[in-house]
Amino acid sequence: MDIEIQLATEEQKKQKPADSELVFGKIFTDHLFEVEFENEKWGTPKIVPYHPFILDPATTVLHYAQEIFEGMKAFRHPDGSIHLFRPYRNADRFNKSAERMSMPTVNKDLFVKAITELVKLENEWVPNSPGMTLYIRPTMIATEVALGVHPSDKYLFYIILSPVGPYFKTGFTPTNVYVASTHIRAAPGGTGEAKTGGNYSPTLWSQQKAKEIGRASCRERV
Q: What CATH number does residue 49 fall under?
A: 3.30.470.10
Same domain, 166 and 181: no
Interatomic CA distance for residues 100 and 43, integer angstroms: 22
Cβ-Cβ contacts under 8 Å for 203 (sequence gap 6 or more): 185
17-51 residue pLDDT tens: 888 888 888 999 999 999 999 999 999 999 999 99
Range of the domain at 188: 176-222
How high is the pLDDT of residue 20?
82
**The last residue of a domain, from among 148, 171, 194:** 171
**Which amino acid would we find at residue 74?**
A
Instruction: For 62-131, give the DSSP string.
Output: HHH--EEE--EEEEE-TTS-EEES-HHHHHHHHHHHHHHTT-----HHHHHHHHHHHHHHTGGGS--STT
Asked about 96 being catalytic, the answer comes back as: no
Same domain, 53 and 129: yes
Interatomic CA distance for residues 148 and 63, integer angstroms: 9
Same domain, 180 and 166: no
120-144 residue pLDDT tens: 999 999 999 888 899 999 999 999 9
Task: Please answer whether residues 98 and 104 qualify as being in contact, where contact means their C-beta atoms are separated by less than 8 angstroms.
Answer: yes
How high is the pLDDT of residue 187?
81
The single residue of 26, 195, 209, 211 carrying the catalytic annotation is 195
Same domain, 20 and 89: yes
Tell me which DSSP letter residue 53 carries.
-
pLDDT of residue 118 exceeding 70, the answer is yes
Same domain, 129 and 58: yes
What global pTM score does this model have? 0.90
Count CB neighbours of 73 within 10 A.
16
- What mean pLDDT value characterizes the chain? 90
3-class secondary-structure state, position 218: helix
